[in-house]
Chain A
Amino acid sequence: MSETNTFILDDQEIPFTPGQSVMQAALSAGVFIPHLCYHPEFRPHGSCKLCTVKINGRPATSCTTPAAHGMEVESNTPEILDKRRTLVQMLLVEGNHFCPSCEKSGFCKLQALGYELGVMTPRFNLLYPTRPVDASHPDVLLDFNRCILCELCIRASTEVDGKFVFALSGRGIKKHLVVNAESGRLADTNFSLADKAAQVCPVGVILPKRKGFAVPYGERHFDDAPISAHVDEFKPVMPGQEGRS
């Protein structure tokens, strides 16, 4: 065990194993850094930018930056929290997020981060995009209104399921999720409810049918405590990270 592998995160000393990102090291140490596109079982993506921190005074995504000894990392500063709040607000106005009618409410990471960061308003004018749902599949509903383009379903379907069911098309604000079928319908893909891709959506896009609102208010995943108190759920399990000393 090397004593020299540590960095400072908001005045706290964080140990890391070489090869870990700043995010992985922080989560392993029980310190939460907000994120949406990061998932402990997948390679970092760096697109949502919620995990932006300042490393030695320069902004960087903590999920893609390798930890290095002696780094000074700022995370919970008013300046960075304001930026994260604005990023959540951007996502809230970009899609159609109506929590009262969403089955994922109480389980949704975007919502939980909104609570964590104290986002009381979407702030900007809402874009209200038109995004028809895809209800073609017998077991799964796709509600694109809530998509935040984190690409977790794409990565899961590609890397774990080996099915390539999901991909992105379009560009910029018109970027959107598509499925692997000439018809554009999920029913015409080989997608299954058992796929990893069906389990990873942080918001309410990929939903099992006939199972909505199964858990009462008060007992839902993030009802008990803020997402930051759920930090253990996000600890890295990347192959090669465990068992290093």
Chain B
Amino acid sequence: MNAPRKLKVATTSLAGCFGCHMSLLDIDERLLELLEFIEFDRSPLTDIKHCGPCDIGIIEGGVCNAENVHVLREFRANCKILIALGACAVNGGLPAQRNHLDLRDILAAVYVTEEGLVPGTQIPNDLELPLPLNHVHPIHEVVNIDYFLPGCPPSGDAIWKFLTDLLAGHTPRLGHGLIRYD
């Protein structure tokens, strides 16, 4: 019997802190076991810049700027299934705590009215910089998401259980202790 084709997996962090990616590495030596079944496409682990056709896309972080939207759309367009990984992807998380403030007030406070700014400081308008959205959104508000794995971050064990369930063809089920919102 032929060895099954390795599944292509892409990962990225949008408005996140890479903590979920660190947690992915926390599955430790099991990562090697995992690599028998998967290979990474676009990911901070590979430094591939754009996503090709993939079986699984894993998104950390919420959507806070235009670039996040482009990346998320690229993943949705290329990945058969898309997973929201961690609190920020699931409900906006810490970055979304700015949502009750007006973005204009935030930008003005940070770049214009804050004490101690170098004179002449202005709100950055470099074309290279992505513009922030009025509000931070969890990723399911921007594209269709197939699976959610909450946690800040989800533990390495939770990620392991989730991915191995998925690879084995099961709908992932996390028991007590693995499903966590914090």
Contacts and interface: CB of A to CB of B under 8 A. Distances in A.
Judge A-B direct contact (beta carbons within 8 Å).
yes
Interface of A: 92, 96-102, 105-106, 111, 114-115, 118, 120-123, 125-126, 128-131, 223, 225-226
Given A98-B91, A98-B96, 16 more contacts: A92-B91, A98-B87, A98-B93, A99-B87, A99-B182, A100-B87, A100-B152, A100-B182, A111-B182, A114-B181, A115-B181, A120-B90, A120-B149, A121-B145, A122-B138, A223-B177
A225 B181 contact: no
Contacts of A114: 179, 181
Nearest to A116: B176
A126 B90 CA distance: 10
A128 B87 contact: no
Contacts, number: 72
A120 B100 contact: no
Contacts of B99: 128
Interface residues of B, number: 29
Interface in B104-145: 135, 138, 140-141, 145
Main SS class of interface, B: loop
B148 A115 contact: no
Interface of B: 84, 87, 90-94, 96-97, 99-100, 135, 138, 140-141, 145, 147-150, 152, 173-174, 176-177, 179-182
A180 B87 CA distance: 36
A121 B89 CA distance: 10
Q: Give the one of A98, A106, A111, A225 with max B CB within 10 A.
A: A98
Q: Give the one of B149, B174, B176 with max A CB within 10 A.
A: B176
Main SS class of interface, A: loop
A120 B91 CA distance: 10
B91 A126 contact: yes
B179 A105 contact: no
| 5 closest A-B pairs by CB | A99-B181, A100-B152, A121-B148, A99-B182, A130-B100
A122 B94 contact: no
A121 B140 contact: yes
Contacts of B181: 97, 99-100, 105, 111, 114-115
B152 A99 contact: yes
Contact of A98 (B97, B141, B174, B176): B97
B133 to A, nearest CB: 13
B182 A102 contact: yes
